[in-house]
Chains A and B, each alone.
Chain A
């Protein structure tokens, strides 16, 4: 009995003495940290994607608190809403930014772009492109090994099984830019986010002369200038046999899509076009093809919902 009492007292006294020492030490060496850093960190997405250019969300919050104005800060994930909240906490103004979205500029699916050799090395786009130009004759196009998929922290990219090309899930993409830096072929670009995630872009980065690029891939941009002539807004420029649509000037009129002979200009998330009876055969063909494109998009969406339904069924079965 005595032994227990003594040990309890001894350990209790030791504990109290150490607690007092620790309290004073903690007071003496206290590091003052702005409480606003915690507040800002709280509202950040904590994905630590690095899209803002800082090493994680906490680092971004610290830098925001330290900085004099928030003009050079932008969290691509939270967007303008989040920046407004941060500016309310810190009492500093934040510049409005246009929301952006990632776009894959290659349509070279196996059906359009013939595989001329087989790669059996490490499954990585960076390694493959350091070794050689790729499995097709187009040395600019997508490898399809999915470096962009691995690097995406938001699960916003997947490789389509049929086209073997990356597809961006518009609702998930935060435009953090991780995929843009990861892609060794510089195919992915951040473009302006239009309402309903509508996109119009030249889905090709091939800088070869028209004949060579057309031979390598049926849907490549040949630099034929048809789109440049059609565009009334001076939004399209051709450099090195490659057209580029300036998203600052583009009005989504879709005229360029119609005239492109190789279907290198893509339109995504648009309503199907109406077929006009009085149009000539040639144009009718184009519109029909376009219909197919928009149908495809719809099919994808419906298949996604199917999957979800199936999953739910499975759950209920279980």
Chain B
């Protein structure tokens, strides 16, 4: 019997069509556009100007607060412009465009592929290196990793959880990474274990990836304190709170963080980036992106430099299928639709999904029939059918009392609703308003 979380959850069709495809390196485009806000928190401050020459891995925007991250040039070339550019939401945000000239790397970066097992840095040095390299959570939330590793005083972690679940349908980037970079990842885990001073780490993997489970179980025997925990397939198991519940059966209380129950969760992509940052001095300038979809000619996984337009990825996968209805940045459950193919790949882009027209349309909104399916599937134990009218009718007090802020925006409620009600859309609106009210109250 495999472990899983207890409350709610759904089983969307997996459709992991690119799982067998090895990660290839995508050709560097002619121009990259690097947004200065690719992470949660304050946008980074630009430190280069138009016409400057930059090398691959050179810092181009500096972290501008505690919760913020450095941004590095992912290519070598000349700064074309620093201007407002379309981002994935269609609004214009500040971004740095660089014309690519060759591929000259910063000399401090170790580009060799040999494994560096020995960790010769202290905890503080590790955190500093991660911060300098601009590593953020690559699972999708893009929370700066150095903040997560710096544990506040008076709290202690006793176990590190690594998220290799990849519960989103279609996406396979983490799966491929676990198969191809297992050693690097495991060293990355040991680095974080040393920084956190914990003796035990568990990697949670859903059992729809038996090859990854087998491979990591074999390799992890060489590394002390790291175990593999196979999990039952259920969405949203990759949610931090659900994963903690599934693996170590601890429940994170409402409004608290995983560290309050003595654990820290990191994504497999992040631990690989940590390995490269600490052992190889390589900042976060590329990541694995899955390009997939039912009518895509060649669904696959690529190493993509940050700032590459997604049109280059689509081209590499065999071009945009004619029946495409939506281009989604991320997975089908939590991803967001983009309106232009010129949108760049950012640190948080785990996949690009091309959905055929007939599957992309939402059903016609009908009345709530009080079937309570949304309540049954909510992994946080909320009542989405109530939260939606609260947000619609602007009853913020009631919404707050009903713990609207606990919603993890997994979309299980909207997915399961037989009346196609836009539950999550309204809950998100409610969350942002209730959040604002609480912040102004605390001021």
Residues of A whose CB lies within 8 Å of any CB of B are 116-117, 120-124, 126-127, 130-134, 139, 208
For residue B336, which residues in chain A have a CB less than 8 angstroms away from its CB? 131-132
Contact A121 B339 (CB under 8 A): no
A103 to B361 Cα, complex, angstroms:
35
For residue B362, which residues in chain A have a CB less than 8 angstroms away from its CB? 120-121
Contact B91 A127 (CB under 8 A): no
Q: Find the A residue at minimum CB distance from B388.
A: A122
Contact A120 B89 (CB under 8 A): no
Which of A122, A130, A132, A139 counts the most B-chain CB atoms under 10 A from its CB? A122
Selected from B92, B339, B422, B432, the residue in CB contact (under 8 A) with A116 is B339
For residue B89, which residues in chain A have a CB less than 8 angstroms away from its CB? 131-133
Contact B90 A133 (CB under 8 A): yes
Q: Is B337 an interface residue (CB 8 A)?
A: yes
27 contacts between A and B (CB under 8 A): A116-B339, A120-B361, A120-B362, A121-B425, A122-B365, A122-B425, A122-B426, A123-B365, A124-B425, A124-B426, A124-B429, A126-B429, A127-B425, A127-B426, A130-B428, A130-B429, A130-B432, A131-B89, A131-B336, A131-B425, A132-B336, A132-B337, A132-B339, A133-B90, A133-B339, A139-B92, A208-B92
A215 to B92 Cα, complex, angstroms:
16
For residue B432, which residues in chain A have a CB less than 8 angstroms away from its CB? 130
Q: Find the B residue at minimum CB distance from A117.
A: B339
For residue A123, which residues in chain B have a CB less than 8 angstroms away from its CB? 365
Q: How far is the CB of B394 from chain A (nearest CB, A)?
A: 10
Which residues from 221 to 255 on chain B have a C-beta closer than 8 Å to any C-beta of chain A? none
Q: How far is the CB of A150 from chain B (nearest CB, A)?
A: 10
12 additional A-B residue pairs with CB within 8 Å, beyond A120-B362, A127-B428, A130-B428: A116-B339, A121-B422, A121-B425, A124-B425, A124-B426, A126-B429, A131-B336, A132-B90, A132-B336, A134-B90, A139-B92, A208-B92
Q: How far is the CB of B323 from chain A (nearest CB, A)?
A: 15
Which of B92, B337, B422, B425 counts the most A-chain CB atoms under 10 A from its CB? B425
Contact A127 B429 (CB under 8 A): yes
Q: How far is the CB of B342 from chain A (nearest CB, A)?
A: 12
For residue A139, which residues in chain B have a CB less than 8 angstroms away from its CB? 90-92
Question: What 0/1 pattern do residues 248 to 268 of B give for CB contact below 8 A with A?
Answer: 000000000000000000000
A126 to B425 Cα, complex, angstroms:
10
3 smallest A-B Cβ distances: which pairs?
Answer: A133-B90, A122-B422, A122-B425
For residue A126, which residues in chain B have a CB less than 8 angstroms away from its CB? 429
For residue B422, which residues in chain A have a CB less than 8 angstroms away from its CB? 121-122, 127
Q: Find the B residue at minimum CB distance from A133.
A: B90
Q: How far is the CB of A4 from chain B (nearest CB, A)?
A: 51
Which residues from 86 to 100 on chain B have a C-beta closer than 8 Å to any C-beta of chain A? 89-92
For residue A116, which residues in chain B have a CB less than 8 angstroms away from its CB? 339
Question: What 0/1 pattern do residues 425 to 438 of B give for CB contact below 8 A with A?
Answer: 11011001000000
A132 to B93 Cα, complex, angstroms:
12
Q: Find the A residue at minimum CB distance from B420.
A: A120
Q: Find the B residue at minimum CB distance from A128.
A: B425
For residue B429, which residues in chain A have a CB less than 8 angstroms away from its CB? 124, 126-127, 130
Which of A116, A120, A121, A130 counts the most B-chain CB atoms under 10 A from its CB? A120
Q: How far is the CB of A207 from chain B (nearest CB, A)?
A: 9
Q: How far is the CB of B76 from chain A (nearest CB, A)?
A: 30
A126 to B337 Cα, complex, angstroms:
17
Q: How far is the CB of B160 from chain A (nearest CB, A)?
A: 34
Question: What 0/1 pattern do residues 403 to 433 of B give for CB contact below 8 A with A?
Answer: 0000000000000000000100110110010
